[in-house]
């Protein structure tokens, strides 16, 4: 029997949360009702009151509500709810969480869920569960469940949706998880155009006793990888594909943000870093490419994604930024430069082959990199097996160095 937290505004959404709670109890699980409402008295009696939630964050709820500013009350609860939920999770008092909400409830509920570790069951039934939900999910595995109709009473549609959502959270806690492996973890970044390199390296590292977690370098993938490094669970970083920096600098759609490459450097996690796929900036369909890039070299990766070749000037700027990020490293790190090609489509004869741009990238990295950071230049292409093997050797040496 599990304990499932039911977090929400129990004044405006009390009836709906009670419906979900009843289903969960009938399934044989316990519930812990957490009220984060601020308008009227709760219509569903909570196990943890709104006053208790606010107090854990040092917030005087009476003073907050007295201001009668809905935005400030939502912000206040969005700051307090994560503290309460993460404490309950650490103390093993809850096994999952579900919340129902409109705009305000979704903001509070997902803020609380983002404080929980990856793998912890979390469902948000929301009127906003369509389109871009990145600001609600962040880098966590929050399941956004569309409410279809507004969460405003029970009807033939909402009762079906809430039943399915309640069943889903019960299924999550009832699922038998695979046996946890105790192998040290290495995280790796990959793109379609660096797949051969990363997959070959993965097999070699697994033979050495490591578990390799691969993240697709699509912006969200880079952010999740950085988050996992921050968690302290990672033994090494195989950062083959730093392409997200091209999107960040040039203006593509797959940026991982300005903190990419910071976690391993700041924490001293052993790493190798490679300029994989920094020859490309990602856009959606060709019609989405800004007019200022008219005349640039383009490559249709698929009907939904168009790649644009980085110029020598852009490559130099990217190289400078990467060097500056790596200069903050306090642990062993090696920069691996595949002089033959930095992606599968920058090899001779392919559309992104541009030696001048590649040289501008390599030169900027080397010129601005801290003198004591090791740089290995190889004439190979990035997807050559020899290059992958060299990356593995360097990473293992860095891990050994950190453990001495």
pLDDT tens digit sequence for 41-54 = 999 999 999 999 99
Does residue 304 surpass a pLDDT of 70?
yes
CB 307 within 8 A of CB 298: yes
Mean of pLDDT values over 359-363: 98
Euclidean distance between CA atoms 370 and 14, whole angstroms? 58
Residue 307, classed as helix, strand or coil, is strand
Q: Is the Cβ–Cβ distance between 230 and 380 less than 8 Å?
A: no
If you average pLDDT over residues 80-94, what whole number do you get? 97
Inform me whether the pLDDT recorded for 72 exceeds 90.
no
**Cβ neighbours around 196 below 10 Å, total:** 17
The structural architecture, per CATH, of the domain 3-174 is 3-Layer(aba) Sandwich (3.40)
Nearest alpha carbon to residue 309 among 261, 364, 257, 252: 252
Mean pLDDT value across residues 54-68: 85
Question: What's residue 179's pLDDT?
Answer: 72
Q: Is 72 left (phi over 0), alpha (psi -120 to 50) or beta?
A: alpha
How many other CB atoms sit within 10 Å of the CB of residue 242? 26
CATH 3.40.50.12020 positions along the chain are: 3-174
Least confident range from 303-307, 312-316, 393-397: namely: 303-307
The span from the CA of 100 to the CA of 106, in Å, is: 7
**In a 3-state reduction of DSSP, which class is residue 167?**
helix
State how far the Cα of 107 lies from the Cα of 111, in Å rounded to an integer.
6
Candidates 65, 66, 89; CA nearest to 77 is: 65
Model confidence band, residue 68 (pLDDT cutoffs 50, 70, 90): low
pLDDT for residue 145 is more than 80: yes
CB 117 within 8 A of CB 34: no
- pLDDT for res 6: 98
Predicted confidence (pLDDT) at residue 239 exceeds the cutoff of 70: yes
The least confident of 64-73, 77-86, 98-107, 181-190 is 64-73
**pTM (2 d.p.):** 0.80
pLDDT tens digit sequence for 12-23: 999 999 999 999
Homologous superfamily in CATH for domain 185-403: Uncharacterised protein family UPF0261, NC domain (3.40.50.12030)
- Report the pLDDT value the prediction gives residue 326, as an integer from 0 to 100: 98
**% the chain with pLDDT above 90:** 89
At 231 the pLDDT is: 85
| C-alpha span between 33 and 303 (Å, rounded) | 46
C-alpha angle 163/168/169, rounded to 5°?
Answer: 105
Q: Residues 185-204: what's their mean pLDDT?
A: 97
Q: How confident is the model at residue 336 (pLDDT cuts 50, 70, 90)?
A: very high
Q: Which two tokens stand for residue 396?
A: 């293992």
SS3 356: helix
**Mean of the per-residue pLDDT values of the chain:** 95
DSSP-based three-state secondary structure for 66: helix
pLDDT-derived band of residue 384, with 50, 70 and 90 as boundaries? Answer: very high
The predicted pLDDT at position 301 comes to 86
pLDDT surpasses 70 at 180 = no
Q: For 243-271, what is each residue's pLDDT tens digit? A: 999 999 999 999 999 999 999 999 999 99
298-302 and 305-309 beta bridge pairing: antiparallel
Q: What's the rounded mean pLDDT across residues 281-295? A: 93
CB atoms within 10 A of CB 345: 20
Between CA 400 and CA 126 the distance in angstroms is: 48
Pick from 84, 17, 16, 82: nearest CA to 48: 84
- The answer to whether 266 and 300 are in contact (CB under 8 A) is no
- Residue entry with tokens 């920094």: 278
Q: Where in the chain is the domain with CATH 3.40.50.12030?
A: 185-403
What per-residue confidence (pLDDT) applies to 67?
67
Q: Which positions ≥6 away from 196 have C-beta within 8 Å? A: 344, 383, 385, 388
User: Residue 334 above 80 pLDDT?
Assistant: yes
DSSP state string for 172-183: HHHSPPPPPP-P
The residue that leads in pLDDT, 67 or 327, is 327
Taking residues 30-50, report their average pLDDT. Answer: 96
């Amino acid at each position: 029997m599990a304990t499932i937290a039911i977090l929400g505004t129990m004044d405006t959404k009390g009836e709906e949360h009670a419906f979900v709670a009843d289903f969960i109890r009938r399934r044989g699980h316990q519930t812990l009702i957490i009220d984060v409402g601020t308008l009227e008295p709760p219509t569903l009696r909570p196990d943890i009151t709104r006053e208790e939630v606010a107090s854990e964050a040092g917030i005087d709820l009476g003073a907050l509500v007295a201001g009668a500013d809905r935005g400030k009350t939502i912000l206040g609860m969005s700051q307090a709810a994560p503290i309460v939920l993460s404490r309950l999770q650490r103390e093993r008092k809850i096994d999952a969480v579900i919340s129902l909400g409109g705009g305000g409830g979704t903001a509070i509920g997902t803020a609380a869920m983002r404080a929980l570790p990856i793998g912890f069951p979390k469902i948000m039934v929301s009127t906003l569960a369509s389109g871009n939900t990145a600001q609600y999910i962040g880098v966590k595995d929050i399941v956004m469940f569309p409410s279809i109709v507004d969460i405003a009473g029970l009807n033939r549609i909402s009762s079906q949706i809430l039943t399915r959502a309640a069943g889903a959270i019960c299924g999550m806690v009832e699922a038998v998880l695979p046996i946890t492996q105790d192998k040290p973890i290495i995280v790796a970044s990959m793109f379609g155009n660096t797949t051969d390199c990363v997959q070959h390296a993965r097999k070699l590292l697994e033979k050495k006793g490591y578990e390799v977690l691969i993240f697709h370098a699509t912006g969200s993938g880079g952010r999740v990888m950085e988050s996992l490094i921050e968690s302290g669970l990672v033994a090494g970083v195989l950062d083959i594909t730093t392409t997200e920096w091209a999107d960040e600098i040039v203006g593509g759609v797959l940026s991982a943000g300005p903190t990419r490459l910071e976690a391993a450097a700041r924490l001293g996690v052993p790493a190798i870093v490679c300029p994989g796929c920094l020859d490309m900036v990602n856009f959606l369909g060709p019609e989405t490419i800004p007019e200022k890039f008219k005349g640039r070299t383009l490559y249709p990766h698929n009907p939904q994604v168009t790649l644009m070749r980085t110029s020598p000037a852009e490559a130099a700027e990217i190289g400078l930024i990467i060097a500056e990020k790596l200069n903050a490293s306090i642990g062993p790190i090696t920069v691996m430069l595949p002089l033959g090609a930095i992606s599968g489509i920058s090899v001779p004869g392919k559309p992104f082959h541009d030696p001048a741009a590649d040289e501008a990238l390599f030169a900027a990295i080397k010129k601005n990199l801290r003198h004591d950071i090791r740089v290995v230049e190889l004439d190979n292409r990035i997807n050559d097996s020899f290059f992958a093997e060299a990356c593995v050797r360097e990473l293992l040496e860095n891990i050994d160095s950190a453990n001495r």
